[in-house]
């Protein structure tokens, strides 16, 4: 299960070589702020879209895992936080909650 999840997410982690030109309509204020942040608007938007796709794929896989195996235990969640955020960050977050 973990290997499949990682593979699906990693597909969107690296830059894709083939591109397709599209037109996207954004509010004028967003475009102005975007241009302040980067000269590469296409690259910035592509990374934002890839991040959102990874987020949605991970959420889908986590929901499906819980449907098949039950809810994550507190221990499993703590272990995942430690792996993602590092042991110290996980301990601090758990204590704060």
Distance, CA of 90 to CA of 52 (rounded, Å): 24
CA proximity to 44, closest of 32, 34, 31: 34
CA proximity to 49, closest of 71, 16, 81: 16
Q: Does the predicted TM-score (pTM) go above 0.75?
A: no
Let me know how long the chain is.
97
Instruction: Report which of residues 62 and 14 the model is more confident about.
Output: 62
| Tens of pLDDT, residues 21-54 | 999 999 999 999 999 999 999 999 999 999 999 9
Which residues have C-beta within 8 Å of that of residue 40, sequence separation ≥ 6? none
């Amino acid at each position: 299960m973990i290997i499949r999840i990682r593979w699906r997410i990693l597909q969107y982690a690296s830059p894709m070589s083939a591109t397709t030109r599209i037109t996207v309509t954004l509010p004028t204020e967003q475009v102005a702020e975007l241009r302040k942040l980067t000269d590469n608007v296409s690259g910035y938007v592509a990374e934002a879209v890839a991040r959102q796709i990874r987020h949605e794929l991970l959420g889908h896989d986590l929901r499906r895992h819980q449907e098949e195996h039950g809810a994550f235990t507190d221990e499993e969640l703590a272990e995942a936080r430690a792996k993602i955020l590092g042991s110290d960050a996980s301990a601090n977050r758990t204590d704060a909650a």
